[in-house]
A and B are shown apart, each in its own frame.
Chain A
């Protein structure tokens, strides 16, 4: 469960309503693959990931990034039950995808950096703190069913 005050929840939702989820999703996943190149191990079927430009323009990266961020957005509507919301996805990431949960933490922080880039001053330290709680909560929920 994420421990957010009413004001924090409002601030989180307020910012999210302005996020272009498809665009930000593609950028966040792309930056993950550029900044932490070992994460490309999960995406060998995606084609050319050899340079930063190739990654950021790769249509499969954009599409998958959009999928991931839309799912993150679903979590925002269920902040009081992230573990329940992500139970099935957690099992999938463990049993089928074999993704080390450390990658969820990496992606969460890349998302925070991308939000800062898009919103500048509006992404205040307080708002960042609220989002850090959310990305940690989502990462923990996705790791919860690992065995």
Chain B
């Protein structure tokens, strides 16, 4: 499901509004995911997953930064995300179903913080963006 030029414009504008909050939103989305979909915790047995955990905060920043970078390279996601794609395929091996769960929680987080800007069109473009990122991150799995 290809990103149109309209999608790309919407995604760039959305990340402009999200700005420096990407790290916080990443952490909040992870917390929402761990609580809403407890099976996702199986990938983090080594983490303190309690509310406010520094590890979750740090990991959320990694997620937020990666998505911000991706939003800046919409014309070549595979290249921009190549290292992360290798990591997920060979080391992390997170089952593909989980990318949808984190993507959903990211949308919930953005909707909660930007109710007025999160129009149906923005919702659609961000959902497509996250689906594209997920596809790239699982593209080398087999």
- The yes or no answer to B123 lying at the interface (CB within 8 A) is yes
B119 partner residues in chain A, CB cutoff 8 A: 52
A35 near B36 with CB under 8 A, answer: no
A117 at the B interface (CB under 8 A): yes
Complex-state Cα separation, A110 to B28, whole angstroms: 18
What residues make up the interface of A, taking CB atoms closer than 8 Å to B?
A: 30-31, 34-35, 52, 55-56, 109, 112-114, 116-121, 123, 125-126, 128-129, 132
| Interface contact B31-A125, CB-CB below 8 Å | yes
Tell me how many residues of B have a C-beta within 8 Å of chain A. 21
CB of B32 within 8 A of CB of A52, answer no
Chain B residue numbers with a CB within 8 Å of A55 are: 120
Using A118-B115, A120-B113 as known contacts, say yes or no to A128 and B120 having CB atoms under 8 A apart: no
Residues of B within 8 A of A120 (CB): 112-113, 115
Flag the segment in B17-25, B61-69, B103-111 that touches A.
Answer: B103-111
B118 in the interface (beta carbon within 8 A): yes
Min C-beta distance of B102 to chain A, whole Å = 13
Question: Chain A residues near B113 (CB, 8 Å)?
Answer: 120
Residues of A within 8 A of B124 (CB): 34-35, 52
